[in-house]
A = this chain, B = another copy of it.
Amino acid sequence: MDEAAESVNKMSWGTQLWDQYENISSQTNKGIEFLEKYCSFIQDRLAIEKEYATKLRRLAKNYQPKKREEEDNEFSSCQAFRNVLKEVNDLAGQREVVAESLEQRIVQGIQVLSRALREERKRCLNEGTSLQQTLTAQLGALDRAKRNYEKAFRESEKAVENHKKADMDLNLSRAEVERYKNIMTSKIQQSDDAKNEYANQLQKTNNLQRQHYSVALPTVFNRLQELDEKRTGGIREFIIGTAEVESAVAPIIARCMEGIVKAGESINEKEDSFKVIERYQSGFTPPTDIPFDDLSKQNPDSPMDSRVLSSHFTVKGTISKGVKRRPAIFSFFGSNKVSVYVCL
């Protein structure tokens, strides 16, 4: 055996673990269980992602402005908040993408692999059992052939002994001695036949045993090693894939963060406070000086009420633009209502 082949042999289950069927069987099973444990880990992980996404979506929905607040949407701060909610919703969407990708790429991938590995493992173990049963049957046949040979040999020895005794016994007839001779010949023949059969079975057994331990069983065990390595390599790919799935959404999440910053930056407090003016200004000008009412100089025909009204209308006449609401001009300090003009 050259060095390279020896080094391969040192790494080969078929060569090194030829008598470890049960350990190989349990090791490969534990290996597939470990792969499936990683799968269930990812399933639990993606359930957490899904729940996280659901809660983010619900959060964004709960804070969506109500219909009755819609008039406030003209403010840049409200628009910004709505954009923030949109980004949080997008963020939730990205966590859902992670969950879905983990499901499709990792969980389903592992399920396909582990099913294939379980089937291949079962085939190998069945094959190993069948090989061993064949060898056991052959060893049984050898055992029977050997026992037959031992029995026949002992009987032939006995027959030789009996013939020797009869030959020396002068009281026995020639026919009688001839009978012992015939028996002896027959038993020796039988012993030789049994010995031949034993030799045949031994050759068959050794051939089979050599084939079993040098080719058949190592082939099966190497296939089990191969599937175990495929399983280990699979875990490597699935672990890397898991990180890739999550890393893939990082740039989009970064864009969501940029979106939130942009939403924040779009807030303009000067604009918003001007919008308050646009919404509420009445267009009235503040009261001007109250005129002096010199009773000694007034025309007694002009009643006071009409003067008050005309002065009031003058104020109204300064309204320069449409007014949404027109509260009583002087009733804006709680219940301290004053009617300045009326009392003049």
Contact = CB atoms under 8 A, between A and B. Distances in A.
Interface of A: 10-11, 13, 16-24, 27, 30, 34, 37-38, 41, 44-45, 48, 51-52, 55-56, 59, 62-63, 72, 75-78, 80-81, 84, 88, 128-129, 132-133, 135-136, 139-140, 142-143, 146, 149-150, 153, 195, 198-199, 202, 205-206, 209-210, 213-214, 225, 228-233, 235-240, 242-244, 246-247, 250, 253-254, 257-258, 260-261, 263-265, 267-270, 272-274, 276-277, 279-282, 284, 286-287, 289-290, 292-296, 325, 327, 329-330, 332-334, 336, 338, 340, 343-344
Given A34-B78, A229-B273, A231-B269, 20 more contacts: A19-B332, A20-B280, A20-B282, A20-B327, A23-B325, A45-B59, A51-B52, A77-B235, A84-B242, A139-B338, A142-B290, A195-B296, A209-B287, A210-B289, A213-B286, A228-B276, A233-B267, A233-B269, A235-B267, A242-B260
Closest 3 CB pairs of A and B: A239-B264, A213-B286, A232-B269
Contacts of A250: 250, 253-254, 257
A277 B11 contact: yes
A55 B63 contact: no
Count of chain copies: 2
A214 to B, nearest CB: 7
A229 B272 contact: yes
A17 B327 CA distance: 12
24 contacts: A11-B274, A16-B277, A16-B281, A19-B330, A20-B280, A20-B332, A23-B280, A23-B325, A23-B327, A24-B280, A34-B77, A37-B63, A44-B63, A77-B235, A80-B235, A84-B239, A136-B336, A143-B343, A143-B344, A150-B295, A195-B294, A213-B286, A232-B268, A239-B264
Contact of A11 (B16, B263, B273, B329): B273
Contact of A129 (B27, B295, B334): B334
A265 B280 CA distance: 66
